[in-house]
Copies of this chain bind each other. A is one copy, B any other.
Amino acid sequence: MAVESATGTSDAPRTTDRTRASDKTMTMREAVAAHVRDGDTVSLEGFTHLIPTAAGHEIIRQGRRDLTVIRMTADIVVDQMLAAGCVSRLVSSFVGNSSAGSLGELRRRVEHADPEPLAFEEYSHYGMICRYMAGAQRLPFYPLRSYGGSDLPDVNPALRKVTSPYPGPDGEPEEIYVVPPVNPDVTIVHAQRADRSGNTQVWGLTGVQAEAVYAARKAVVVVEEVVEDEVVRSDPNRTLIPAHAVDAVVVCPRGAHPSFAQGYYDRDNAFYRAWSGISKDKERLTAWLDEWVHGTGDHAEYVAKLGEEFWDGLAVGEAMSLPVNYGRRL
């Protein structure tokens, strides 16, 4: 009997053409060329830790346009992508330069439509997290106890209410806000390490990366290093993102700068502080992009241009985890 593939009745966005065993490593240039297209909805996640900056820079180098960027904390990398003209819509819950100041380009776009308007969808952090969870879990909505009495639903029609089918604690019907799912065309995250097939291990702050990857149609994982299968398999609980959810693995050391990679390099707080000044002045910002993004062929050049002494300043020492025993049948 011929094996025919069932068409089913699903119109869900999922594709299951990812393979587990194959080698998915490619360069950043290849990954962005293959998986990020003009007009795409692109999620870049990493909560203050492991921000996929190098991926953002490559999107700028390749001149992508009209992107919808989804990112909880729209910070420096988003300001850079805005300034480079890549982004027409932003979905976010925090548009600031960490606690270090402002995002100059974002403020020009929002406050003055300069050089052009920016469509902006404003959420809270948990609203964004719940959108990713709904996307990952293929749910039509996700309920959360936020937004009651806020002005956010007035400016964001995606924030709606549902009445619970169970009585509230007082016996009366209970209402709760919900958010819709988000299913990015591609999610890009940065991680410490993966194997070649995409089993990705993260430690330190793990943020919402796993949910953002599972919510996406395609996922690119950028890592500090690719490791042998045995390394990953020695500690399967450390695998935050299994290979079946990953389409591309990009090796890009120091690709999270100016954010940090726990155990690899520290945060460049000086650059965060500097960014408010750079971005406030459009000319300085353009010059910065010309020098550091357009002026470098890839992230390796950017890293080299910063210089060894610079990286020595962000170096970290050792604080190794104590191993656990997974056990072996005798």
Q: Within the complex, what minimum Cβ distance (angstroms) separates A309 from chain B?
A: 14
- Residues in B whose Cβ lies below 8 Å from that of A164: 140-141, 162
**B165 A162 Cβ-Cβ under 8 A:** yes
Q: For the complex, give the distance between the alpha carbons of A274 and B152 in Å.
A: 60
**A203 B237 Cβ-Cβ under 8 A:** yes
Q: For the complex, give the distance between the alpha carbons of A164 and B169 in Å.
A: 23
Q: Within the complex, what minimum Cβ distance (angstroms) separates A166 from chain B?
A: 5
Binary interface encoding of chain A residues 236-257 relative to chain B, with 1 for a CB under 8 A from any of its CBs, else 0 = 0110000000000000000000
**B321 A323 Cβ-Cβ under 8 A:** yes
Q: Within the complex, what minimum Cβ distance (angstroms) separates A179 from chain B?
A: 10
Binary interface encoding of chain A residues 136-171 relative to chain B, with 1 for a CB under 8 A from any of its CBs, else 0 = 001111111100000000000000111111101110
> Of all chain B residues, which has the CB nearest A177?
B165
A18-26, A115-123, A212-220, A259-267 - the one binding chain B: A259-267
**A326 B203 Cβ-Cβ under 8 A:** yes
**B321 A324 Cβ-Cβ under 8 A:** yes
A73-81, A276-284, A312-320 - the one binding chain B: A312-320
Binary interface encoding of chain A residues 286-318 relative to chain B, with 1 for a CB under 8 A from any of its CBs, else 0 = 000000000000000000000000000001111
Q: Which of B138, B235, B330 is within 8 Å of A315, CB to CB?
A: B330
Q: Which of A218-244 contact B (CB under 8 A)?
A: 231, 234-235, 237-238
Q: Within the complex, what minimum Cβ distance (angstroms) separates A319 from chain B?
A: 4
**B166 A141 Cβ-Cβ under 8 A:** yes
Q: Within the complex, what minimum Cβ distance (angstroms) separates A307 from chain B?
A: 18
> Of all chain B residues, which has the CB nearest A202?
B237
Q: Within the complex, what minimum Cβ distance (angstroms) separates A276 from chain B?
A: 24
**A234 B165 Cβ-Cβ under 8 A:** no
Q: For the complex, give the distance between the alpha carbons of A319 and B144 in Å.
A: 42
**B321 A235 Cβ-Cβ under 8 A:** yes
**B140 A168 Cβ-Cβ under 8 A:** yes
- Residues in B whose Cβ lies below 8 Å from that of A235: 321-322, 324
Q: Which of A196-212 contact B (CB under 8 A)?
A: 201, 203-204, 206
Q: For the complex, give the distance between the alpha carbons of A325 and B315 in Å.
A: 13
**Beyond the given A139-B144, A203-B326, A319-B328, could you list 15 further A-B residue pairs with CB under 8 A, ordered by the A residue number?**
A11-B169, A11-B170, A139-B145, A140-B164, A140-B168, A162-B162, A162-B163, A162-B164, A237-B238, A264-B325, A266-B329, A319-B327, A320-B325, A321-B323, A321-B325
